Structure 1
Amino acid sequence: MTRRAAGPLAGIRVLDMTRLAPGPYGSMLLADLGAEVIAIGGGRSGLPVPALSRGKEFITLDLKTTQGRAALHRLVAESDVLMEGFRPGVADRLGAGYAELSALNPRLVYCSVTGYGQTGPLSQRAGHDINYLAIGGALGTFGPPGGPPVPPLNLVADFAGGGLLAAFGIVGALYERERSGRGQYLDAAMVDGVLSMMGMNFTDWGRGALPRRGEGVLTGSMPAYRCYECADGRYVAVGALEKAFFANLWQALDLGAVPDHFDPANFAGIEARLGDAFRQRTMAEWTKFFAGIDACVTPVLEPHELGEFEQIAERYQGFAPESVPAVPVYSRTAAAPGRIDTADATERVLARFGLSAEEAGKAAGTRDASAVTGLRWPPM
């Protein structure tokens, strides 16, 4: 594998020492944009997640050995970006901290991806998406009023507030480096990402748009912005917030005079009328019915159905849930998903940096380099 000739980040080399979901998602985004990504594992780093592994090469380095650290330093000297996801202080103890590596390569953009950040009383604490959502003030707004808060999978903190924010920050630092000639350190915390994304909702909290958890305009409790069950037990999503869209919805269903859909006094009646109407047809029938009506009504699709849905099928031919598209769509330097190969490529990659097979084996923590090849997920 060599650097891609196309893509907006072609010519950029990224070393990824993160694990789990946030960091690997961020480095996958960079790989989709053309960067060469070398994922570095070893110790307790675990095996890679295939869905986040495309376009990457995987190597093993034992940073507790002199040879492993020397190999890392060789890579850093010829790279543009390093991502790590250790608890604060761990990378320094492994000879992979920013001070040491930036001295070797002053142009290095170094990004630490953590849950709580490098400072503060929780910086050394373990956590997951649900914890960062809780601390960031988002989880307290999710879920039904009469039940416990419900996280939307791990999309918000892990992927958006973590991986996506890290990739965004890295691209910004690379752009700035073109002017200054210098790299810099990025402290990308998932809690910070959640705080940033919640800005609009924080200002709405306690007011009509979001008075409390599970209630408000965008929580799924307002009749014009929620899901309705169809005759076959499937659902359609209704997002008819604006007056014109709601009027189109109400009139298309032939429900009579259009009520004020923002007046809470009308909510119960509107919900009952819409609920009764949508239970008269199947989800597929409603999809066809609303195809030419600007009322913001769409089917609630399940992952296995996406490839057959016309919008997805036209934009991404051959779409499959196990290989999501590279985004966004560029007009000249197209983003493109690379192939997935999680086999350990330590010997092959380090050879590009001038290390012999024997040196690669020692750097990986084994005398025989072939002993570290063949790592795959899931294990057989």
Structure 2
Amino acid sequence: MALKGIKVVEFAGLAPGPFAGLVLADNGATVFRIDKPFQSSSSDILCRNKRSLAINPKIPSGLDVLKKVVASSDVLIDPFRPGVMERLGLGPVVFLGENGKVGLNEKLIYARIVGFPRTGSHKDMAGHDINYLALSGILSMLPGSHNRPTFPLNLLADFAGGGLLCTLGIILALFERNSSGRGQVVNVDMVSGARYVSSFPLMHFLNPSTGTFAAKRGGNLLDGGAPFYNIYTCKDGAFMSVGCLEPQFFNTFIEHFIKALPSDFKQRYGWVPNSSTQFDRNTWPELKNFLELGFHTRTRDEWTAVFMDTDACAVPILTPEEASQMEESGQSVPLPHPRILSKMNGAAQVIDLVPIELPPGKHTEEILQELGLTDTEYQRLVQDGAIEGTRSKL
């Protein structure tokens, strides 16, 4: 696998850090999650193919061991607010060096994920995805009512702008290390990351002459304003998605839609859309009403059958359970993506979809043994309270 042999130290966190570690682990990296000792469970479910070392860096013996772990690693993922790792004695300077002082591991890729920009006015404040989206400018553009926007779970800032861009930064830094031989700091903040993955709508909004986001929220092609890019409720209460933006796709959609309506529907309604209706904004309210009433005449699965094998850009909105049945693995856990194929035989990489629970400290003894700690050193960690463990020999 592409990252086989790369060793990653991931300090336990929420959402973006664990996701970055998951992507690296899914592609062959060896990932150690650093947990607090004396915990019975973890909230991290993104722990596939990781191992857990539970150790306290606030205790000198624990800090010494952690420095050895990081000194022998390729990547460190720091999910904390600015300054936390420095106060622990594990900041970038310790490993990468500074001002001529040699670091413990100058080939280390030190990846830091924070919510707000590290030098901005909010840098020391707590926050979550919705807050980072709020400052990014993109939340104000997202669909919702005319009174307020809605937010897309915690996908845009935590996972796209945070975890995924952190992974990209790590890969780029590893690639650069091949030529320079040196590591570096990778800084990711989720406000900037959310803005970057939202480049398309933000750049259109800032250039209204393009017309794509020239109207107020809820009045544009992609934010719920267009009837032909929207969600509709069916007879059974389930939903269909419609996204026929291009004229040829709209023509296919409206042709199949009208043909599938009850024979007396057009007569009762008194108006029928055609190909010229699509971009006549004056008719959008009428078209939306026509589609809403029309979709109520059939169930979701019946409409699915109507549009199957066409270019109408109309497909059912599946539940998570239904969508999981379409996974190649046949399991509910999403498969790693993209699928990397072998040039020799076209075979996809094989991923072990292990359980989503990783008890803190499950691999502590195993990892410390691999690190070469003696029994005396191990016993000291236990006695100091730096790790939870038995007094058995390593």
- TM beyond 0.5: yes
Helix, strand or coil: the match of 2:42? coil
Alignment partner, residue 336 of structure 1: 351
Where does 1:211-230 land on structure 2 (aligned, <5 Å)? 211-230=215-234
Alignment partner, residue 325 of structure 1: 335
8 A Cα contact 1:360 1:369, kept in partner: no
Alignment TM-score, normalising by the size of structure 2: 0.85
RMSD over aligned CA atoms reads: 2.2
Is 1:284 the counterpart of 2:278? The answer is no
Alignment partner, residue 266 of structure 2: none
Alignment partner, residue 4 of structure 1: none
Greater Cα shift, 156-165 or 253-262: 253-262
Cα deviation 1:280-335 (Å, max 9, x = unaligned): 11011111221111111111111111133xxx24xx23121xx2111111012726
Higher Rg = 2
Provide the C-alpha distance between the structure 2 equivalents of 1:122 and 1:289, rounded to a whole number of angstroms.
51
Alignment partner, residue 349 of structure 1: 367
Name structure 2 gaps, 5 residues minimum. 97-102, 259-271, 343-347
Provide the C-alpha distance between the structure 2 equivalents of 1:157 and 1:368, rounded to a whole number of angstroms.
34
Q: 2:322 aligns with which of 275, 296, 305?
A: 305
Helix, strand or coil: the match of 2:117? coil
Provide the C-alpha distance between the structure 1 equivalents of 2:375 and 2:239, rounded to a whole number of angstroms.
57
Cα distance change on mapping 1:227 and 1:360 into 2, 3 Å: farther
Alignment partner, residue 7 of structure 2: 13
Cα deviation 1:243-302 (Å, max 9, x = unaligned): 110000011123563233122112012212222221111011111221111111111111
- What percentage of aligned pairs have identical amino acids? 35
Greater Cα shift, 262-271 or 129-138: 262-271
8 A Cα contact 1:230 1:283, kept in partner: yes
Alignment partner, residue 173 of structure 1: 173
Alignment partner, residue 34 of structure 2: 40
In the TM superposition, residue 187 of structure 1 has moved relative to its aligned partner by 0.8
Alignment partner, residue 183 of structure 1: 183
Alignment partner, residue 370 of structure 1: 389
Helix, strand or coil: the match of 1:196? helix
Letter aligned with residue 220 of structure 1: G
Letter aligned with residue 168 of structure 1: L
Where does 1:146-157 land on structure 2 (aligned, <5 Å)? 146-157=146-157
Alignment partner, residue 209 of structure 1: 212
Alignment partner, residue 296 of structure 1: 313
Cα deviation 1:128-173 (Å, max 9, x = unaligned): 0000000011111123243332111000000111100101110110
Provide the C-alpha distance between the structure 2 equivalents of 1:336 and 1:263, rounded to a whole number of angstroms.
49
Alignment TM-score, normalising by the size of structure 1: 0.88
In the TM superposition, residue 92 of structure 1 has moved relative to its aligned partner by 0.8
Letter aligned with residue 17 of structure 1: F
Alignment partner, residue 251 of structure 1: 255
Greater Cα shift, 80-89 or 208-217: 208-217
Letter aligned with residue 209 of structure 1: T
8 A Cα contact 2:32 2:53, kept in partner: yes
Where does 1:81-96 land on structure 2 (aligned, <5 Å)? 81-96=75-90
**Matched pairs, number:** 359
In the TM superposition, residue 48 of structure 1 has moved relative to its aligned partner by 3.1
8 A Cα contact 2:82 2:124, kept in partner: yes
Provide the C-alpha distance between the structure 1 equivalents of 2:324 and 2:202, rounded to a whole number of angstroms.
36
Q: 1:263 aligns with which of 280, 293, 307?
A: 280
Q: 1:23 aligns with which of 17, 22, 34?
A: 17
Cα distance change on mapping 1:369 and 1:356 into 2, 3 Å: farther
Provide the C-alpha distance between the structure 1 equivalents of 2:338 and 2:119, rounded to a whole number of angstroms.
33
Cα distance change on mapping 1:294 and 1:35 into 2, 3 Å: same
Provide the C-alpha distance between the structure 2 equivalents of 1:46 and 1:248, rounded to a whole number of angstroms.
57
Cα deviation 1:16-65 (Å, max 9, x = unaligned): 01401110011101111110000002279995334311111111121111
In the TM superposition, residue 371 of structure 1 has moved relative to its aligned partner by 6.5
Alignment partner, residue 75 of structure 1: 69
Cα deviation 1:170-194 (Å, max 9, x = unaligned): 0110011111111100111001101
Helix, strand or coil: the match of 1:51? coil
Cα deviation 1:310-361 (Å, max 9, x = unaligned): xx24xx23121xx211111101272625524513221111110012455346
Letter aligned with residue 125 of structure 1: M
Helix, strand or coil: the match of 1:253? helix
Helix, strand or coil: the match of 1:160? helix
Provide the C-alpha distance between the structure 2 equivalents of 1:153 and 1:117, rounded to a whole number of angstroms.
21
Provide the C-alpha distance between the structure 2 equivalents of 1:264 and 1:44, rounded to a whole number of angstroms.
62
8 A Cα contact 1:326 1:335, kept in partner: no
Helix, strand or coil: the match of 1:370? coil
Where does 1:93-132 land on structure 2 (aligned, <5 Å)? 93-102=87-96, 103-132=103-132
In the TM superposition, residue 10 of structure 1 has moved relative to its aligned partner by 0.8
